[in-house]
C-alpha cells in the first residue's frame, strides 16, 4: 500500500508539501492550474479546479484530496464527497473560509473574541457602522480576498461605492471595526479527522501593505496567559468549524490586552513557514499527516527563536538563482526556500528561515539574507 494525497492547486503551498511527502513516503499528486507552476514537479494533471469533472477525474486514485487554496467551489466539493472521496478540510469547514460573513457569524456563535462587525447591504448601513465606530472602519468583500486584496479602510461609505454597486440580490459586504492593535499574531493548529489536535506556538507576524513580511516564532514577550488564550482560540475554532488539516488563525493583540480573530486559513499558511526548519514537525508534513488521519507530529520549536522573512518581488532582471552565491556566501546558516515563480512586484517568490538563541541576531540574519534577493 502506498499513501496518495491529491492537492488541488499548484502554488507554493503544494510545492512545499513535496519535500516531506518524498521523505515520509507519501505519493503527492497535484492538480495544477497551468503547466510550469510552483508545484510542477508533482503535477500529475493540469486543469480547472472549478470544473467538477476535472477534479473528480483527478481525485479518482488518491486516498484524500486537500488544497493549496480555499477557492474550490462548493458544488465541486459536494461532487467529490458524493463520489465517496475523502476531502480535508471538508466542504462544511471550507465554507467558513470562503465566506467571511459566514465565518464571523459562526465565530460569534462559538463565543470567539473578534472585532465588532456587521453585514451591510447599502451605503446607509455602512455609514451608520462607520459613524458608530469612531469614523473609520474596515470593509471586506466576503469572498475572494487574499494578501490585502478585497480589504479597504474607509471613513466614508462612498469609498466602497464600487463594491456596494456590485452587490446583487441579498449580497452583503462585511464591515469591521478598525482594531487598535499593538501587533498581529498567528496561531496554527493541526487537527485530524479523528479529532487529535496539535497547536503550534503562537507567532508574531509583521505585515507590510497587507502582505506578510516577517514571522517571529514563538511570539516575543508573550505571557503564559497570552500563549494559552491563543492556543485555546485556535483549538476552539478548529473544533467549532470542523477544520481538518492545518488551520491558521490571524489575531490582533489589542492595546487593552485582548486577542481578536482577524482572518482564518484552512491550509498551510505563510505564518507557519518558519516551522519547515524551526519546528520538529513542519506545517507541510503536519498537514499531510492530518489529512491522511495519521497521528500528528511534535510541533515544538527546535531553537529558542526562528525568524521567517518573505522574499517579495524578487530581482527585476535576473532570477533568484543568480543571487544564491552571495546569499550562501554571507549567510551559511540561513535556509533558503524558493517557489519557482517568475518575479513580479510584491509577489511572494520565496522566503528565508533563520534560527538561534539571540533574537536580535536571528532577525538581522534573516532580513539581511532576504534583502539580497530583493532589489
Closest to 164 (Cα-Cα) out of 136, 130, 124: 124
Smallest distance from its own copies to CB 116, Å: 40
Q: Report if residue 328 touches its own copies, rule: CB under 8 A.
A: yes
Smallest distance from its own copies to CB 231, Å: 17
- Residues 248-277, interacting with its own copies (CB under 8 A): 276
Q: Report if residue 318 touches its own copies, rule: CB under 8 A.
A: yes
Report d(CA 362, CA 99) in Å as an integer: 37
Pick the closer one to its own copies by CB: 16 or 139: 16
- Asked if 139 and 152 count as a contact pair (C-beta separation under 8 A), the reply is yes
Report d(CA 302, CA 335) in Å as an integer: 14
Pick the closer one to its own copies by CB: 18 or 154: 18
Annotate 54-88 with DSSP letters as a single string: HHHHHHTT-SEEEESSS-S-HHHHHHHHHTT--BS
Q: Report if residue 18 touches its own copies, rule: CB under 8 A.
A: yes
Which residue among 84, 170, 321, 345 contacts its own copies (CB under 8 A)? 321
Which residue among 122, 322, 358, 375 contacts its own copies (CB under 8 A)? 322
Which residue among 135, 158, 295, 304 contacts its own copies (CB under 8 A)? 295
Q: Report if residue 213 touches its own copies, rule: CB under 8 A.
A: no
- Residues 355-374, interacting with its own copies (CB under 8 A): none
Q: Report if residue 283 touches its own copies, rule: CB under 8 A.
A: no
Helix (H) or strand (E) holding 250: strand 245-254
Phi, psi of 108 (to 5 degrees): -65, -45
Which residue among 89, 297, 301, 343 contacts its own copies (CB under 8 A)? 297
Report d(CA 44, CA 25) in Å as an integer: 17
Stretch that binds its own copies, among 70-78, 102-110, 176-184, 333-341 (CB under 8 A): 333-341
Smallest distance from its own copies to CB 60, Å: 19
Closest to 269 (Cα-Cα) out of 215, 324, 334: 215
Pick the closer one to its own copies by CB: 212 or 279: 279
Beta-bridged to residue 208, according to DSSP, are 211
Q: Which residues contact 214 (CB under 8 A, 6 or more apart)?
A: 205, 206, 307, 308, 309, 310, 363, 366, 367
- Asked if 126 and 139 count as a contact pair (C-beta separation under 8 A), the reply is yes
Closest to 214 (Cα-Cα) out of 226, 202, 205, 223: 205
Q: Report if residue 317 touches its own copies, rule: CB under 8 A.
A: no
User: How many residues make contact with its own copies (CB under 8 A)?
Assistant: 45
Which residues in this chain contact its own copies in the complex, by CB under 8 A?
Answer: 1-3, 15-16, 18-20, 22-26, 41-42, 276, 280-281, 289, 294-298, 300, 302-303, 318-322, 324-325, 328-329, 332-333, 335-340, 350
Amino acid at each position: 500500500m502506498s499513501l496518495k494525497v491529491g492537492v488541488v492547486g499548484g502554488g507554493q503551498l503544494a510545492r512545499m508539501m513535496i519535500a516531506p511527502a518524498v521523505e515520509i513516503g507519501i505519493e503527492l499528486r497535484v492538480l495544477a492550474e497551468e503547466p510550469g507552476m510552483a508545484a510542477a514537479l508533482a503535477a500529475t494533471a493540469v486543469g480547472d479546479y472549478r470544473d467538477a469533472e476535472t477534479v473528480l477525474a483527478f481525485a479518482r486514485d488518491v486516498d484524500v484530496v486537500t488544497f493549496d487554496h480555499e477557492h474550490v467551489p462548493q458544488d465541486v466539493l459536494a461532487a467529490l464527497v458524493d463520489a465517496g472521496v475523502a476531502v480535508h478540510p471538508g466542504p462544511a469547514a471550507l465554507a467558513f473560509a470562503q465566506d467571511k460573513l459566514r465565518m464571523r457569524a459562526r465565530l460569534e456563535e462559538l463565543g470567539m473574541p473578534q472585532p465588532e462587525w456587521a453585514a451591510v447591504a447599502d451605503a446607509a448601513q455602512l455609514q451608520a457602522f462607520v459613524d458608530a465606530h469612531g469614523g473609520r472602519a474596515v470593509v471586506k468583500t466576503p469572498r475572494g480576498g487574499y494578501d490585502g486584496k478585497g480589504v479597504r479602510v474607509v471613513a466614508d461609505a462612498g469609498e466602497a461605492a464600487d463594491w456596494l454597486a456590485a452587490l446583487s440580490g441579498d449580497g452583503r459586504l462585511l464591515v469591521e471595526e478598525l482594531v487598535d492593535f499593538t501587533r498581529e499574531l498567528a496561531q496554527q493548529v493541526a487537527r485530524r479527522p479523528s479529532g487529535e489536535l496539535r497547536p503550534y506556538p503562537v507567532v508574531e507576524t509583521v505585515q507590510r501593505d497587507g502582505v506578510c513580511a516577517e514571522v517571529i516564532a514563538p511570539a516575543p514577550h508573550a505571557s503564559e496567559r497570552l500563549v494559552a488564550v491563543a492556543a485555546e482560540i485556535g483549538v476552539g475554532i478548529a473544533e467549532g468549524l470542523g477544520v481538518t488539516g492545518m488551520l491558521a488563525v490571524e489575531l490582533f493583540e489589542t492595546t487593552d490586552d485582548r486577542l481578536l480573530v482577524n482572518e482564518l486559513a484552512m491550509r498551510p499558511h505563510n505564518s507557519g513557514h518558519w516551522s519547515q526548519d524551526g519546528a520538529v514537525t513542519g506545517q507541510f508534513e503536519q498537514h499531510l499527516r492530518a489529512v491522511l488521519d495519521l497521528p500528528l507530529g511534535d510541533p515544538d520549536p527546535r531553537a529558542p527563536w526562528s525568524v521567517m522573512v518573505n522574499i517579495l518581488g524578487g530581482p527585476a532582471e535576473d532570477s533568484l538563482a543568480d543571487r544564491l552565491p552571495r546569499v550562501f556566501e554571507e549567510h551559511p546558516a540561513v535556509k533558503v526556500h524558493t517557489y519557482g515563480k517568475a518575479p513580479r512586484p510584491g509577489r511572494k517568490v520565496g522566503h528565508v528561515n533563520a534560527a538561534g538563541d539571540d533574537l536580535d541576531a536571528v532577525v538581522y540574519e534573516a532580513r539581511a539574507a532576504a534583502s539580497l534577493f530583493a532589489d
